[in-house]
Amino acid sequence: MENAFQVDLRGVVDLLSRHLYSSPRVYVRELLQNAADAITARRAGDPGAKAEVAIEVADGRIQVSDSGVGLTEDEVHILLATIGRSSKRDELGFARHEFLGQFGIGLLSGFLVADEIRVETRSVTGAPTVVWTGRSDGVYQVEPAQSERAEPGTTVTLAVRPDAAEWVTERTVAELAALYGSLLPVEVTVNGRPATVAGPPWLARHGSPAERRAALLGYGRDLFGFTPFDVLDLNVPEAGLTGVAFILPTQANPAAKGAHRVYLKRMLLTEHAEGLLPGWAFFARCVVDAGELRPTASREALYEDDLLEHVREQLGRQLREWLVRLAETDPDGLRAFLRLHHLGVKALALHDDDMLRLVDRWLEYETSSGPMTLAQFRALHPRGRFTASVDEFRQLAGVSGAQGVGLINGGYVYDGEILRALTRIDPGVRLEPLDPAELATHLAPVDPAAELAARPFLNAAARALDPLGCEVVLRDFDPASLSALYLTSRAAEHHAQLMEAKEASDELWADVLGAMERSLAADRPRLVLNHRNPLVRKVLSLSDLNLAGTAVEALYGMALLHGHHPLRPADSAALNRSFLGLLDWATS
Ligand SMILES: Nc1ncnc2c1ncn2[C@@H]1O[C@H](COP(=O)(O)OP(=O)(O)OP(=O)(O)O)[C@@H](O)[C@H]1O
Q: Would you state the pLDDT for residue 12?
A: 81
| 100 CA closest ligand 1 atom index | 26
Alpha-carbon gap, residue 335 to 486, rounded angstroms: 37
Which pLDDT band holds residue 501 (cuts at 50, 70, 90)? low
Query: In which band, very low, low, confident or very high, does the pLDDT at 282 lie, cut at 50, 70 and 90?
Result: confident
Quickly state the pLDDT bin for 93 (edges 50, 70, 90).
Answer: low
9-18, 276-285, 473-482: range with lowest mean pLDDT: 9-18
Which residues make Cβ contacts (< 8 Å) with residue 466, sequence separation at least 6? none
Query: Is residue 558 exposed (0-12), middle (13-18) or buried (19+ Cβ within 10 Å)?
Result: middle
Determine the pLDDT at residue 101: 82
Q: Please determine, for residue 170, whether its predicted confidence score (pLDDT) is greater than 80.
A: yes
Q: Is the pLDDT of residue 253 over 90?
A: no
Distance CA 111, CA 151 (A): 27
Q: Which atom of ligand 1 has the smallest separation from the CA of 83?
A: 18
3-state secondary structure at position 447: coil
491/359 Cα distance (integer angstroms): 32
> How does DSSP assign 388-431, residue by residue?
SSHHHHHHHHHHHHHTT--EE---STTHHHHHHHGGGT-TT---
pLDDT at 85 (0 to 100):
81
- Which residues lie across from 485 on neighbouring strands? 528
Instruction: Report the residue among 79, 124, 157 best suited for mutation to probe ligand 1: largest number of ligand atoms under 8 A from its CB.
Output: 79
* Kind and range of the H or E run holding 513: helix 507-519
CA distance 275 to 17: 25
b/e per residue 196-209 (b: at least 16 CB within 10 A)? beeebbbeeeeeee
Nearest to 152 by CA among 118, 131, 125: 125
Which is higher by pLDDT, 394 or 516?
A: 394
Minimum mean pLDDT among 99-103, 204-208, 374-378, 424-428: which range? 99-103
Nearest alpha carbon to residue 456 among 389, 521, 545, 393:
545
Average pLDDT over residues 203-210: 96
Residue whose Cα lies nearest atom 26 of ligand 1: it is: 101
Per cent of the chain over pLDDT 90 is 70
Across 342-346, 401-405, 406-410, which has the greatest mean pLDDT?
406-410
Residues 6+ away with beta carbon under 8 Å from 379: none
Distance 35 CA to ligand 1 centre (A): 8
pLDDT of residue 98: 83
Those residues whose C-beta lies under 8 Å from the C-beta of residue 128, and which sit 6 or more positions away, are: 73, 122, 144, 145, 148
Specify the range with the lowest mean pLDDT, choosing from 357-361, 437-441, 490-494: 490-494
- CA torsion through residues 218, 224, 230, 232, sign: negative
**pLDDT band, residue 417 (cuts 50/70/90):** very high
Using the atom order of ligand 1, give the atom closest to the CA of residue 86: 29
Distance 78 CA to ligand 1 centre (A): 11
How far apart, in whole angstroms, are the C-alpha atoms of residue 280 and residue 315? 12
Centre of ligand 1 from the C-alpha of residue 72, in Å: 13
Per-residue pLDDT band for 81 (boundaries 50, 70, 90) equals confident
- Compute the average pLDDT of residues 302-319: 95
Average pLDDT, the chain: 90
| Least confident interval from 229-233, 383-387, 464-468, 517-521 | 517-521
Q: Could you tell which of 9, 33, 34, 156 is best to mutate to test the pocket of ligand 1, judged by most ligand atoms within 8 Å of the CB?
A: 34
* Predicted pLDDT of residue 34: 95
Residue 108 and residue 205: Cα distance in Å, rounded?
Answer: 40
Phi, then psi, of 375 in degrees rounded to 5: -60, -45
The answer, as to whether pTM is greater than 0.80, is no
- Residue 42 C-alpha to ligand 1 middle, in angstroms? 14
Residue 83 banded pLDDT, cuts 50, 70, 90: confident
Output the CA 87–ligand 1 centroid distance in Å. Answer: 7
Which among 248, 232, 414 is positioned nearest to 326, based on CA atoms? 232
Cα of 104 from ligand 1 centre, angstroms: 6
Gap from CA of 119 to ligand 1 centroid (Å)? 11
Q: Are 432 and 386 spatial neighbours (Cβ–Cβ below 8 Å)?
A: yes
pLDDT for 315 equals 97
Give the pLDDT band of residue 583 (cuts 50, 70, 90): very high
Grade residue 504 by pLDDT with cuts at 50, 70 and 90: low
Query: Which residue has better confidence, 105 or 122?
Result: 122
CA–centroid distance, 27 to ligand 1, in Å, is 13
* Residues in contact with ligand 1 (CB, 6 Å cut-off): 30, 33-35, 38, 66, 68-69, 71, 79-80, 86-88, 101-107, 154
pLDDT at 490 over 90: no
